[in-house]
Amino acid sequence: MQRVLRQLELASHTREPVHFQGEVGTGKEHLARALHFESEQRRKIFVPLNCKKLPPRELKQTVKKVFEKDLDESMPLEPGVLFLDEVNHLSRDIQEIILENFQTKSQAQTVRLMTACSTPLNELFEQEQLLPEFFFLISTLQIQVPALRERREDLDLLAQHFLENENRYQQKQVSGFAPGVLSLFHDYFWTNWHR
């Protein structure tokens, strides 16, 4: 995670597109939001879109609105980041819309593109799921987000963080974990349970 944090620090000083690659549940959107709030775009809105879950028509309309200069009631604030999760499900026509806006319109310079998926971009490119120009646009700066099983040293800190966070909203305070609970966390095979 130290490597990821260093990469986020570097990415906060640029407006280049950023791609987060890692398993489902590794915190890619959380990192994208953190990067947004550390950048000069932080006063603008973060627009997260899940390319797998949103109906194609709604996804296409929203992407178009992000790049429109005249804001309407459906998007009253100026977008700062367009975050496309599950970018491997992004249709080629929407990729073309994004490319067109980044290549021709000055509005694209004010909207930062961030993407995420669990499949490596090179594989998507080889399988022709991404247009070549779109691949080169989003592959400039890639951040690999490790799964929790690859960073077990973080388990105790994360458990303590969640405990303190829960205590913040409860009248009854929990002082710690029962004996053996942290050992169970360490013995658990943290894997992608969404597959």
Segment (H or E) for 161: helix 155-167
Q: Which residues contact 63 (CB under 8 A, 6 or more apart)?
A: 49, 82, 94, 97, 98
d(CA 117, CA 19): 8
- Strand 45-50, strand 18-21: pairing: unpaired
What integer pLDDT is reported at residue 101 of this predicted model?
A: 87
What angle separates helix 2-11 from helix 28-38, to the nearest 10 degrees?
Answer: 40
Q: Are 112 and 39 in contact (CB under 8 A)?
A: yes
What integer pLDDT is reported at residue 186 of this predicted model?
A: 75
What integer pLDDT is reported at residue 95 of this predicted model?
A: 95
What integer pLDDT is reported at residue 185 of this predicted model?
A: 77
What pTM value is reported for the model?
A: 0.79
What integer pLDDT is reported at residue 195 of this predicted model?
A: 43
What integer pLDDT is reported at residue 107 of this predicted model?
A: 46
What integer pLDDT is reported at residue 20 of this predicted model?
A: 96
Query: For the chain, which residues score pLDDT lower than 50?
Result: 107-108, 194-195
